[in-house]
Amino acid sequence: MRALAALLMLALLAACAQTTVVRTAPRGKPQAARPVSPPKPGSTALVRKGDTVYRIATTHGVSPLDLAMWNRIPPPYTIHPGQRLRLTPPDARRPEPPRPAGPTPPRVAGTTPASTPRPPAGTRPPSTTTSPATTPPATTPRPVPPQPVPPPAAAAFDWRWPADGALVGRFAAGDPTRQGIDIAGKSGAPVRAAADGVVVYSGAGLVGYGELIIVKHDEQWLSAYGHNRARLVNEGQRVKAGDQIAEMGRSGASRDMLHFEIRFNGKPQDPLQALPKR
């Protein structure tokens, strides 16, 4: 009996030693973006099989919405192999410096220009030494600082805050992941139109923005509302400032919040410069 009990204890210990605890990683948390240098003005990318707007944008360090607007890619943002996409705004292309009309003839060392007269025979040629006072000092050209880009003209209408909540993300020029502001809130909280306009996009075809709504206010201004839980408007629908157009959520985000962008001629602007103080 003692031998049998000992064998049972050994079997239980062996079974416990083979037990494995499996922990599932939390879902819904986006991976940290790999730092990428912004592309040089005039850069382009060739679309290959399997590419998407989101993949090309994140690979080259630009915003997916920027990439779609710079290349006038309409919803649902479909691209095709062989298509070449611009990676910078259209006006960021630098013109090539003008070339001279013809080649400049090279100067041959040791030759005397034809216009220089020779001194008479038996006379001493004048000294060609230049006085130090008459020699202009060598100067190094100073770099011309870049001219600041003037802010766009104020909109012909008033902006309203699109949601209530704490500001948890601010605009950062040149950062493709911070082209607007983030407003935290509860799931299902109302998301409202920031101004009168027409819904030009309502869908989830642009990866990285979740359930997205884009409202066009005039020929220059539009606003974007991302990470919604539910979209309450359709494309082509007219909305008034303050109308509820969506429910706040976390589609494509790690928390319940609204990602809000304002664009002037397709260029992202700091919404805090347009929205009223609160």
pLDDT in tens, 8-54: 454 444 444 443 333 333 344 444 445 567 788 889 999 999 898 88
pLDDT at position 269 is: 95
CA-CA distance, 265 to 66, in Å (whole number)? 11
Residue that finishes a domain, picked among 90, 124, 146: 90
Average pLDDT over residues 86-112: 55
| 12 three-state secondary structure | helix
Check which CATH number belongs to the domain holding 54 and give it: 3.10.350.10
Distance CA 191, CA 210 (A): 14
Apex CA 217: angle with CA 176 and CA 245, to 5°?
Answer: 80
Cα distances (Å, whole numbers) of residue 243 to 163, 200, 215, 240: 11, 16, 12, 6
CATH code, domain carrying 240: 2.70.70.10
User: What is the pLDDT at residue 218?
Assistant: 95
Q: What is the pLDDT of residues 126-137, one digit of tens each?
A: 555 555 555 555
192 phi and psi angles, rounded to 5 deg: -115, 155
Domain total in the chain: 2
Residue 62 to residue 67: CA distance in whole angstroms = 7
Residue 119 lies in a domain: no
Strand-pairing partners, residue 224, are 214, 261
In a domain, 112, yes or no: no
Domain that holds residue 70: 44-90
Within-domain flag for 152: no
b/e 8-29 (16+ beta carbons within 10 angstroms → b): eeeeeeeeeeeeeeeeeeeeee
Q: Which of 145, 195, 185 is CA-nearest to residue 163?
A: 185
Give pLDDT, residue 154.
84
What mean pLDDT do residues 181-188 have? 96
Q: Is 250 part of a structural domain of the chain? A: yes
Q: If residue 216 lies in a helix (H) or strand (E), which one and from where to where? A: strand 211-216
Domain-located, residue 11: no
Tokens coding 75? 């919803």
Of the candidates 27, 65, 31, 89, the residue with the CA atom closest to the CA atom of residue 226: 65
Name the more confident of 97 and 125. 125
